[in-house]
Amino acid sequence: MGGLAGRTALVTGASRGIGRGIAERLGHEGARVAVHYGRNGAAAKETVAAIEAAGGSAFAIGVELGRPGDVDALWEEFDRHADGLDILVNNAGIGKSRTMEEIDEEEYDKLFAVNVKAPFFIVKQGAARLRDGGRVVNISSGLARSATMPHHMAYTMTKGALDVLSRDLSKVLGPRGITVNSVAPGLIDTDNTYEVLHGSPGAWEWGAGLSALGRVGETADVADVVAFLASDAGRWVTGSWVDATGGSLT
């Protein structure tokens, strides 16, 4: 166990992928982790079990974001388990979108409801629960600074909005010693990445070639960056956009 003992963390979208990696990493560092999930309760239970098996503490919260009353329900459930918060990681999101020619208003509105509106109001309501000296980390995307996949334009737009939230919120919460940052992964080995690349021949090799390090990232590559920002060592980093793309933007 590390330097987060005695702290409570909430990671949204933590049942699988990057969110699960972050939740397990924070749990390893000693934080008690609220594992949020939208629909996959079984996967969330697996995340909780993995944290507990490693000696940590966790509990699951099931609320589907992007619906009326979603944030109220999330915090109501959180309050049943904890009396305050130290680390908030806004990771939950829809990870892709159809092209401009294909997307309709319903998909567009859902995308922004989950990826932008929900994090904004989670922070708005969570600020009173977040203890002074706390941490907020928003999971962005390298695509917010690169047109590598321009057909996912609507998705990328949501990450640009999330980055503005991080920048401006750092000034709002800074007087309380709370840091706020965006962490921007590149291609990470998750189910969603496979779907985005469509499993087409050569797509994985193409993705690996985007990185200066010559590989597709792993969830731990992102989780370690988040853990640093959540720790005391990250106390002087705020309002930043942290490139965790493995050099894909160089």
Residue 68 CA to chain centroid, in angstroms? 21
Q: How far is CA 21 from the centre of its chain?
A: 10
Q: What are phi and psi of 112, to 5 degrees?
A: -75, -30
The reply to whether 155 belongs to the active site is yes
Rounded-to-integer distance, Cα 104 and Cα 74, Å: 28
Choosing from 37, 108, 155, 194, the catalytic residue is 155
Q: How many CA atoms lie within 13 A of 96 on its CB side?
A: 15
Count of Cβ atoms closer than 10 Å to residue 40 Cβ: 14
Distance between CA atoms of residues 38 and 66, nearest Å: 10
* CB contact set of 128 (below 8 Å; sequence gap of 6+): none
- Pick left, alpha or beta for residue 228 (phi over 0 → left; psi -120 to 50 → alpha; otherwise beta): alpha
SS3 assignment, position 78: helix
Which residues lie across from 8 on neighbouring strands? 32
Instruction: Indicate the SS3 state at residue 194.
Output: helix
Q: List, by residue number, the catalytic residues.
A: 155
